[in-house]
Every structure is written in structure tokens, then in C-alpha cells.
Amino acid sequence: MISSLSIRNIVVAIICSFCVFSCSEEPKKKKNKETQGAMASSVGNINNLSVVIDNELWKGNLGDTIRKYFGAEVPGLPQEEPLFSMRQMPPQAFSGFATKNRTFLKIEKGGKANFVLFKNKFATPQRGAVFVGKTDDEIAEQIRIHAEEVIKIFKKTETLEKQKRIRKSLEKIPSLKEKFGITLDIPTAYRIAKEEDKFFWIRKDIQNGSANIMIYEMPLSAVKKDSNTISHIIKMRDSIGASKIPTDEGGKFITEMAYAPYLFETELDKRFAFETKGIWEIKNKYMSGPFVNYSIKDEKNNRLLVIEGFIFAPSIYKRNNMFELEAIIKSIKFR
């Protein structure tokens, strides 16, 4: 017979073995959970979009629909440049490293008409959009309905990524806070070209030209929200540009009137702003380029704070340079 003492010893041994096993398993479980939760970093150049679609569909009407919306012309540029540089691949190629692009658009033919948005599905940060339908027409209709929403999400994702890259090496300009009560994330490649009490001109040398940012104050009444808003903005920027941006004798830095500027409404650091995109020119000098003007209603400080980015770079594409200027301006913080 087994004594009560032996039974007690056996029970103790079993309990100890269970504890050892549990203790050794817990770190493994925790480690596996951490490994599963880890997500690869997304990759890709700014404004590059992966389009996952069968080759034949890409060559046909469905591909034309995708190009119509996601390859549409960027407003306010002197040359035609697409919203996104698209890289097409068939579904069977969309695996492994190919799934890590920061933005992707996928076409799935055969299912019920549907549209799905993904966030950080294969990498981080990442946004994806999947359009589903039984026929080309059904899928095209889903694209038409949701394209504006998807483009806005993709552009925000790219702006945040650009700002993240900019923050790796920032130029310190304390006088922006002292004179305007703001901060901006400005890359170290930029330098101050002109600094006055209520006017700043910051610039960077680029291929064949320069990228520029102007900052100045105006009365709140300088730009009204009415049927003449665009005229108010043109009048304001022309008066400042003509007096503050130096040009050769006889020239003035003004708005090119042959192309009507685009006007949008937006928000910067929780303040209403007019966003104007158009072409500037130096009168009689055959010089021109794109600009983006943000007229921010800073009612707390009873002023209109104006920040404008513009590019001078003849004969080269300007989308990415303008996108950088927009990303810098959108980093504004009021102190």
C-alpha cells in the first residue's frame, strides 16, 4: 500500500512539475504574441501607388477608369503630372515584399459589388482600397463612387510620411515663433532669404531653380468669403509678391492670369484656411511656376496669416517639390 506520506509527495511533485511547465511556457506565449504583433515597415517613394489588377483588365476600360481618377492631373501645375505614379501588378505577384507599399489599390472580380478600406494590413503605415464586382462595369461604378474618399486618404498618408521624413533633420528658426507665434517643420536644406518684422522668405536650391516659402500677416478683412474670394487672394498675393520678391528691372512677381487659380477650403491646426493653387509669373520676363497659398483665419490673434509655397524650376517636373512645400506648411502649429 502506498502511505499517505508517499501520496502527498507525489502530489507535490506533480504540482511543482506543472508550475515549472507553466513558467517555461509563459515567456514563449508572450514572445509569440509579440512576434505576431510586429508589423513590417511600409516602403515606397512618396506618391507611388501599387495597383493590383489582372493585366488584361489594366489594358481595358477598367484600367482607364483607374487612370482617370488616380492618375488625374495635379491641379495648379504648369505641366501635366498625375496624382500618383502607379505601378501595376497582377494579383499573383502581390505577395511578400510587393505587399509592403504604403498605398495599394486592388481589384477583385467575381464577387458582389463592394468596396473595402484597409489600414496597416501588410505593413505600417499603410492604407489600401479593394474594389469588388462581378463585372467591369460594377467595379468601375465602385471606383467612381469612392475615388474621392480614397484619394483623400492616400494623400493624407503620403503627407504624414513626408512630414515624418522631414522631421529627421530640421532647421531651427526661433524667430518664426517670436514674430508670428508659430512653428513649422522645415528641413535643414532651407535657408532664410529675407527676414523682416512681419515677412519671411525661406528657400532651398533644387535642380535648375529653387523651392520657396513666404510667410506674412494681413488684416482679417483682406480676404472675405464671398463670390470674389479668389480676387481678394490674387490682389493680396500680388501686392506682397511685387514688393517683397526681388526681380530684374521691369519685372513683378504676380499671379498668372491666363490660368484661373483653383480655390479650396481646408483647416490648418484647427483654423479655417483658403487653399489657392495656381501659376505665378514675372511679368515681361517669361518666367513662371506653380504656387500654393494658404490664407489662414487666425481670429484669436485678429489676423490673416498667409503661408505660400512656390517653385521656380524650368523644364523639370514639380509635383514632388510642391508636395514637400505643402507638407511643410501643413505642419504649422500656433503657439
Q: What would the pLDDT profile of 300-323 be if each residue is shown by its tens digit?
A: 999 999 999 999 999 899 999 999
Does 10 score more than 70 pLDDT?
no
Please compute the mean of the pLDDT values over residues 11-36 and round it to a whole number: 41
Structure confidence at residue 283 as a pLDDT band (50, 70, 90): confident
- 317/58 Cα distance (integer angstroms): 26
Task: Return the pLDDT at 19.
Answer: 41
Closest by CA position to 71, among listed 160, 154, 162, 134: 154
Angle between helices 136-166 and 319-329 (to 10 degrees): 60
- 226/58 Cα distance (integer angstroms): 44
Domains of the chain are: 48-166 (3.30.379), 174-334 (3.40.1000.10)
The counts of H helices and E strands in the chain are: 7, 15
Residues 6+ apart with CB under 8 A from 44: 50, 100, 101, 102, 103
For residue 85, the cross-strand partners are: 48
